[in-house]
Copies of this chain bind each other. A is one copy, B any other.
Amino acid sequence: MKSISSKQNAWYRRARAAIHQHDREIVIEGPKAVADAVRVGWRPIAVISDGSSAAEGEVPLDAIVFTRELFEMLAQTRNAQGIIGLFERPIHQAAAILASRGSLIVALDGVQDPGNVGTIVRLAAAFEAEGVLLLPGCADPFAPKAVRASAGAILNVPVAEVTPEEIMASQLPMFAADRAGIPIEPPQRAAILILGNEGVGVSPPLREASTVLAIPISSRVESLNVAAAAAILLARSYVLRIG
Interface string of A36-47 (1 = CB under 8 A from B): 100010000000
Q: How large is the interface on A (under 10, 10 to 19, 20 to 34, 35 or more residues)?
A: 20 to 34
| Interface contact B127-A36, CB-CB below 8 Å | no
Query: Given A119-B225, A225-B119, are A235 and B218 also a contact pair (CB < 8 Å)?
Result: no
Write out the residue numbers on chain B whose beta carbons fall within 8 Å of the beta carbon of A223. 151
| Interface contact A222-B119, CB-CB below 8 Å | no
Complexed CA–CA distance, A220 and B151 (Å):
11
**Would you call A221 an interface residue if the criterion is a C-beta within 8 Å of the partner chain's C-beta atoms?**
yes
Complexed CA–CA distance, A72 and B128 (Å):
44
Write out the residue numbers on chain B whose beta carbons fall within 8 Å of the beta carbon of A220. 40, 125-126, 128, 153, 156
Write out the residue numbers on chain B whose beta carbons fall within 8 Å of the beta carbon of A153. 220-221
**Would you call A238 an interface residue if the criterion is a C-beta within 8 Å of the partner chain's C-beta atoms?**
yes
* CB of A232, distance to nearest CB on chain B (Å): 4
A217 is contacted by which of B126, B151, B224 (Cβ under 8 Å)?
A: B126
**Would you call A216 an interface residue if the criterion is a C-beta within 8 Å of the partner chain's C-beta atoms?**
yes
| Interface contact B127-A228, CB-CB below 8 Å | no
Write out the residue numbers on chain B whose beta carbons fall within 8 Å of the beta carbon of A231. 224, 227-229, 231-232
Write out the residue numbers on chain B whose beta carbons fall within 8 Å of the beta carbon of A139. none
Interface string of A111-153 (1 = CB under 8 A from B): 0000100010011011110000000000000000000010101
Binding site for B on A (CB under 8 A): 36, 40, 115, 119, 122-123, 125-128, 149, 151, 153, 156, 215-218, 220-225, 227-229, 231-232, 235-236, 238-239, 242
Ordered nearest first, which 9 A-B pairs have the shortest CB separation?
A228-B231, A232-B235, A231-B231, A126-B217, A126-B221, A128-B218, A125-B220, A125-B221, A231-B232
Residue pairs across A and B with Cβ atoms less than 8 A apart, 14 shown, are: A119-B228, A126-B220, A126-B224, A128-B218, A149-B225, A151-B221, A151-B223, A156-B220, A216-B238, A216-B239, A217-B238, A227-B227, A227-B231, A229-B231
